């Protein structure tokens, strides 16, 4: 049973009414049972499994591959922020609590401590996973905001599999929707986060000089709790750039990284760096889960694909999915649900193989 509320579906269907999917993605074997596991809607407890290939849809014929003219991380046609239906949903009392806890850890050179959502396994730790979010609020980190919480759900589910998981609140109290603007009730369809005043400046204010020390602090926290265990990274959208940048600098030694809907284009589009050189300097195997409207540099003979394969990783193409589907896509749509299941299967496989 899926427990995702239908709010996000309204945005998707209004914005992508011409999108035609000719067939459904094959379902992998179920690995996690779905349950309502916290009070932050809409949330799923994900299904992970050994992944099966995704069917590519021949009628997915809209060209979303061109990145936005603004130096933002999400390309045109991406899934919007995952939200609860109304602010009143924040006060619902019929949902179970989350499994982890919030902790504070100091950050070298910064006044404010880093907030982390940490989930420990019930048994022995078999590895550590550092989770780096997309730009939007995650309910486990900002409970006062009505953002969805699938990323928090994935953290809980990974802990159920034996991993010590830490979700780093790298944006502090000001993720994009809080710092710039988020949609009001009934405003899902017309709201465009990247058209808001100050959006580009917000990205520029969150460069690696700010983000890098926070990632290092989060990684150090996990390693201190489980010093003998290997460390993996799981990034979503902005978090994929951050994990790749951290790896390329050598600031954190990851044993494996997984990225969902990559936005490493930020390195050159916003921060003025060399994306190709960054990707060519990855230190660990990386599995990148690519959506049909993500950068084409991850497909064919693209430089990013070549760099990832050189470092022992791979790119898994989901031509029929839109950027953001893993953390923000509406699983009430059967094709999206199957795409999420398959992606979570690849996450499971990567961590089982390398941690």
Predicted pLDDT at 160: 94
Give Cβ neighbours of residue 239 (< 8 Å, ≥ 6 apart). Answer: 131, 132, 133, 134, 259
Rounded average pLDDT over 23-42: 32
Q: Percentage of residues in the chain with pLDDT exceeding 70?
A: 68
Cβ neighbours around 33 below 10 Å, total: 11
Q: Are 232 and 353 in contact (CB under 8 A)?
A: no
Distance in Å from the first CA to the final CA of the chain = 30
Q: What tokens does 102 get?
A: 């919030």
Euclidean distance between CA atoms 201 and 225, whole angstroms: 36
- Expressed as residue numbers, the domain containing 42 is 7-354
Average pLDDT, the chain: 77
Euclidean distance between CA atoms 339 and 119, whole angstroms: 25
Euclidean distance between CA atoms 184 and 281, whole angstroms: 42
Q: Is residue 165 part of a domain?
A: yes
Q: Is residue 13 part of a domain?
A: yes
Q: Is residue 2 part of a domain?
A: no
pLDDT band at 279 (very low <50, low <70, confident <90, very high): very high
Distances in Å between the alpha carbon of 287 and those of 6, 145, 299, 301, 347?
30, 31, 13, 17, 8
Predicted pLDDT at 352: 97
Element (H, E) at 103: strand 101-105
pLDDT digits (tens, 9 = 90+) for 330-345: 888 899 999 999 999 9
Euclidean distance between CA atoms 203 and 257, whole angstroms: 23
Rounded average pLDDT over 196-208: 86
Cβ neighbours around 93 below 10 Å, total: 5
Q: What tokens does 178 get?
A: 């809080």
Predicted pLDDT at 195: 62
pLDDT digits (tens, 9 = 90+) for 146-192: 677 789 889 999 999 999 999 999 999 999 888 876 555 444 444 45
CATH code, domain carrying 295:
3.40.50.1820
83, 64, 242, 164 alpha-carbon torsion, rounded to 10°: 50
pLDDT digits (tens, 9 = 90+) for 97-147: 778 999 999 999 999 999 999 999 999 999 999 999 998 888 889 877 767
Q: Is residue 237 part of a domain?
A: yes
Q: What tokens does 185 get?
A: 């009730």
Predicted pLDDT at 353: 96
Euclidean distance between CA atoms 193 and 210, whole angstroms: 22
Q: What tokens does 68 get?
A: 């936005």
Using the predicted structure, report yes or no on whether residue 70 has a pLDDT greater than 90.
Answer: no
Percent helix, strand and coil across the chain, each to the nearest 5: 30, 15, 55
Predicted pLDDT at 300: 95
Using the predicted structure, report yes or no on whether residue 318 has a pLDDT greater than 80.
Answer: yes
Rounded average pLDDT over 65-81: 53
Q: Is residue 1 part of a domain?
A: no
Q: Is residue 225 part of a domain?
A: yes
Euclidean distance between CA atoms 185 and 207, whole angstroms: 31
Q: Are 11 and 188 in contact (CB under 8 A)?
A: yes
Domain count of the fold of the chain: 1
Q: Are 325 and 44 in contact (CB under 8 A)?
A: no
């Amino acid at each position: 049973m899926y427990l995702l509320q239908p709010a996000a579906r309204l945005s998707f269907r209004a914005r992508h009414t011409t999108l035609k999917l000719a067939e459904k993605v094959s379902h992998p074997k179920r690995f996690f049972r779905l349950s309502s596991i916290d009070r932050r809607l809409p949330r799923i407890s994900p299904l992970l499994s050994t992944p099966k290939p995704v069917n590519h849809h021949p009628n997915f014929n809209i060209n979303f591959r061109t990145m936005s003219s603004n130096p933002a991380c999400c390309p045109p046609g991406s899934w919007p922020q995952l939200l609860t239906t109304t602010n009143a949903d924040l006060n619902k009392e019929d949902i179970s609590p989350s499994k982890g806890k919030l902790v504070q850890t100091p950050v070298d050179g910064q006044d404010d401590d880093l907030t982390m959502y940490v989930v420990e396994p019930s048994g022995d730790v078999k590895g550590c996973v550092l989770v780096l979010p997309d730009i939007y609020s995650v309910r486990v980190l900002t409970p006062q905001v009505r953002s969805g919480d699938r990323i928090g759900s994935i953290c809980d589910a990974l802990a159920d599999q034996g991993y010590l998981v830490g979700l780093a609140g790298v944006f502090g109290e000001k993720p994009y929707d809080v710092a710039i603007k988020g949609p009001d009730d009934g405003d899902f369809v017309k709201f465009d986060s990247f058209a808001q005043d100050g959006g580009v400046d917000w990205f520029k204010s969150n460069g690696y000089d700010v983000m890098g020390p926070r990632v290092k602090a989060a990684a150090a926290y996990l390693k201190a709790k489980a010093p003998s265990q290997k460390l993996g990274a799981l990034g979503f959208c902005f978090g994929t750039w951050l994990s790749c940048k951290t790896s390329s600098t050598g600031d954190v030694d990851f044993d494996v990284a997984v990225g969902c809907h990559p936005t490493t284009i930020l390195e050159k589009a916003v921060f003025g760096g060399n994306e190709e050189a960054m990707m060519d300097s990855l230190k660990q195997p990386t599995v990148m889960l690519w959506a049909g409207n993500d950068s084409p540099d991850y497909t064919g003979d693209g430089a990013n694909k070549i760099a990832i394969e050189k470092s022992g990783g791979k790119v898994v193409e989901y031509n029929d999915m839109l950027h953001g589907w893993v953390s923000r896509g509406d699983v009430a749509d059967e094709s999206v649900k199957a795409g999420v299941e398959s992606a979570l299967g690849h996450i499971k496989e990567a961590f089982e193989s390398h941690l």
